[in-house]
Each structure stands twice: as structure tokens, then as C-alpha cells.
Amino acid sequence: MSARLWMSTAIAVAFLAQNAVSVAADLRIGIITPPPHEWSKTATRVAEDIKAKSGGKINLLVFPSGQLGNEAQMLQQLQSGVLDFAFLTLGEFANRDPNYGALLAPYLVKNVAGARALLKGPAAQELLAGMSKFGVVGLGYGMAGMRQILTAGEVKAAGDLSGKKIRTIPLAPELDFWRMLGSAPTPMPLPAVYDAFANRQIDGMQIDFEGTWNTKYYTNAGTMIASNHMMFPMIAVASARKWAIFSKEDEELIASVMKAQIDQLVASYARIDADYLAKIRTTKVSIVEASRPFFGPAIDRWYSEWRNKAPILKKLEEEAGKL
């Protein structure tokens, strides 16, 4: 083969590789939440919007309920290019870099509006831009509802949580929060929580109003501590390997749709939280309103430790203080 022919062939191969996704239409997005959850509904809207705006060229297949594995497994698939997109909690990132855990600081924001503003701020966007070290491209932040506390028995003060087994995710900032309250944080896969709570293998859980209602955890509960004590961000990510071979046009289309839909998701949680709390009030569950003083000195202790563990926390606090 002549040098000129070899060069032409190489250029053609490179061009086809770079535009592979423009031709090969099927992509996949993995999510841990079940179909009724707002994350899953949002992923479906993303898929519909991308398909419409691409003229049917890009078909995004949605896999909810952890069908493609847990978050650690999905992150590995993203890194290898086997999976294209995912909605992930902070867990796998915060356990590798504590700065991502700073977004779970208790009472960093007061409500959904504060969370939405902070996630658009410089510090959070700095973290989003740094996702490349995990082998993914950060496309934007979503979130679930503000964190509340659901318990089996009666709780009137933070001291009543002492010694109680509270289901959480295996995430250092959450675990520290519960330990400082004197509770026993108990990591557990989400599908196992209902039976564990019903059988009293756990005494309570950190959850949102949406999950409490849709999964019917309230049927085995005694008290809902409506605390809004923590936001729970989600990060929409793409496989860096796959993103590198998308055409520029497809990158821009996917990124713009993803950003718009997950921002709408975040904004909607003010209404969603209010709606589900109203439903929970119709049950036998006692509602205890709680603010930062409810938790006593535990939160100050948490900040004292995490300002050293996660340097970006100070930036987040400064920005939150201006909201």
C-alpha cells in the first residue's frame, strides 16, 4: 500500500471512529432508582427529548432499579466505556475524594432553592469539572428530596436516636454525622431496607419524603423527623471514553438536554417534598419538626472535622452564606 493510500485510509478510519455515535444510535443510561422515582422519570424525559431533537438518530435506553449493577459496578462500566451514561449519587466519588462529600454537609442549605443555587455556584461547578479523574464527564447536578429521618418508635429529641440503628449509605460524611449523634449507622442496599425496617433489624433511616411514601416505609414507622438537614445531590455523568468519540454536534445536544432536564428536576423538588409530606401527614406517623438546634453540638463537631478533610467545604459555606 502506498503512503498516500495508507494516509487516506487512516484518515477515513479516524473520521468514522469520531462520528461513530452519529451513526450507531443506541446508548444506555443506568440508574439505581425504581421507575416511579423522579430520577427515573427524568431519565425517560431525557431519552425522549434527545430522540426528538436528534430526529430519531440517538436512542437512549433507560435501565432503572440497578439493572446494570450497583453504583460501583456502573462506575466501572463507565470507565471502561461499556456504559454510556448514569445518574449517580456522590458515594463513589466522595469515597475517593472527600471534597465531594462536602456537598452533604448538614444544614449547608436550608431548602431545595438553596440547594439549586449552591449546585450552580463556583465550588460545586469546580467539583463537576474535576470528574475527569474518575474517568467520567460531569454533565450537571440533580438531586433527590431533602433528607429527613424516619424511625420505628417515638422520637422527641436527638437523644432518642442514641444507640439506634439508622440505615444509611456507606458514605463517610453521612456515617460521621450519625456517629456524632451517638447512633449506629447501618449501611444497607436500598432493596433490603423495607424488610429490615419491618422486621426491626434497623430502627430508622435517613430518607426523603418521596421514598418514604412511594416505598411505603411509613407503614412500619412511628415518627418522621422533618428536618431538611441535608441535601442529596445526584451527578449526571457520561463515560469519558465514549464522550471522546461523540461528534461535537451530539455532545452539545446531549449536554444541553441533560442540563435542562436535571435542573428542572432539582427545581421540582420543592413541590415534590411538600406534596409527599402532606400525604405522610394523613397517616398514623407522628411528624416532628426539627431544625439545626435539635441536633445539639453534633453538627458543630462534624464541621470541625470535615473542614480539614474536605478543603472545599469552606468555599461551599461561604457561598451558602450569601444565598
The pLDDT tens digits for 75-106 are: 999 999 999 999 999 999 999 999 999 999 99
| Structure confidence by residue, pLDDT tens digits, 273-298 | 999 999 999 999 999 999 999 999 99
* Residues 195 and 305 grouped into a single domain: yes
Beta strand 204-207 pairing with 165-168: parallel
If pLDDT is split at 50, 70 and 90, which confidence band does 25 have?
low
Judge if 117 and 238 occupy the same domain.
Answer: yes
The 204-207 sheet, strands edge to edge: 184-187, 165-168, 204-207, 148-151, 223-226, 286-289
Q: The domain containing residue 167 runs over which residues?
A: 148-230+278-321
Whether residues 153 and 137 fall in one domain: no
pLDDT tens per residue, range 136-192: 999 999 999 999 999 999 999 999 999 999 999 889 999 999 999 999 999 998 889
Are residue 18 and residue 105 in the same domain, yes or no?
A: yes
In terms of domains, do 123 and 213 share one?
Answer: no
Q: Which of 25-29, 71-75, 140-144, 245-249 is predicted with the least confidence, judged by mean pLDDT?
A: 25-29
pTM of the model: 0.89
Residue 191 is predicted with a pLDDT of 83
Q: What pLDDT, on a 0 to 100 scale, did the predictor assign at position 5?
A: 38
197 with 52, same domain: the answer is: no
Q: Do residues 9 and 61 share a domain? A: yes
- The Cα–Cα gap between 172 and 178 comes to 10
Same domain, 252 and 303: no
Same domain, 154 and 131: no
Least confident of 110-114, 186-190, 198-202: 186-190
* 53 and 106 assigned to the same domain: yes
Number of structural domains, the chain? 2
Lowest-pLDDT choice from 24-28, 93-97, 120-124, 189-193? 24-28
What mean pLDDT comes out for the span 304-314? 97
Domain CATH number, residue 255: 3.40.190.170
Q: Do residues 126 and 173 both lie within one domain?
A: no
Q: Please give the pLDDT value at position 14.
A: 47
Q: Are residues 207 and 101 in the same domain?
A: no
